[in-house]
Amino acid sequence: MIECKNLNKIYQTGDVQTIALNDVSFSVEKGEFVAIIGPSGSGKSTLMHILGALDAPTSGSYFLDGKEVSKLEDDELSELRREKIGFVFQAFNLLPRTTVLRNVMLPLLYSDTTDEERVERAKTCLAYAGMEESKFYNLSNQLSGGQMQRVAIARSLINNPAIILADEPTGNLDTKTSNVVMKAFQELNQKGHTIILITHEQEIAAFAGRVISIRDGVIESDIKK
């Protein structure tokens, strides 16, 4: 599903070069749950942006479902992000005065689906993410942190993406709530979803079936359970 070949990312500030990624290569098969772990400044966030088609490598190739992402035009990249990748972020990124259901429906607003179809798909995704039906019409700012992250997970599923890319999804949560959210990711993976998780915490990475450790822009280890 994913293949990265000799990825390099170099940032230039005046005469100073910063190497964020240094000859990174790995692949991810359909149905894997992969955690990419590293300390601040390791290059994991840069790698996440490339995997999410939000940035391009300085050199090297990134293939998603057989397409070389780094060679796509802007409109093709937008289509790929919309149809192939579901994003879950640390900050949830929900609209605060909007219901849970409408937050999940947002990615479908400009699609050719009917209102009825959007509602049904949103309800299905919320149930899939383990969200209580009694909360569907609550405003998102009336939810706990764990509930908000479940809504964000449901929203990431709305277009049935090939992969779910989660960037520090437990960063704003306490330990107990983090464990609940990570078990939700495990359940999604068991149902066949491919998940790539970015984290700096060993305890969170332990929920994945494979852990790639990165430091100073270089992969240090790649371990499958």
Q: What is the pLDDT of residue 222?
A: 96
Number of Cβ within a 10 Å radius of residue 36: 27
- pLDDT, tens digit (0-9, with 9 covering 90-100), for 125-162: 999 888 889 999 999 989 988 899 889 989 998 988 88
Q: What is the pLDDT of residue 217?
A: 95
**What is the phi/psi pair of residue 61, to 5°?**
-130, 145
The CATH homologous superfamily for domain 2-224 is P-loop containing nucleotide triphosphate hydrolases (3.40.50.300)
* Mean per-residue pLDDT, 182-203: 91
Residue 70: both structure tokens together: 């780094």
Considering the entire predicted model, what is its pTM? 0.87
Contact of 21 with 5, CB cutoff 8 Å:
no
Number of Cβ within a 10 Å radius of residue 206: 13
pLDDT of 35 > 90? The answer is yes
pLDDT of 206 > 80? The answer is yes
Confidence of residue 207 (pLDDT cuts 50, 70, 90): very high
Residue 26 vs residues 67, 68, 84, 139, 165: alpha-carbon distances, Å: 16, 15, 19, 41, 16
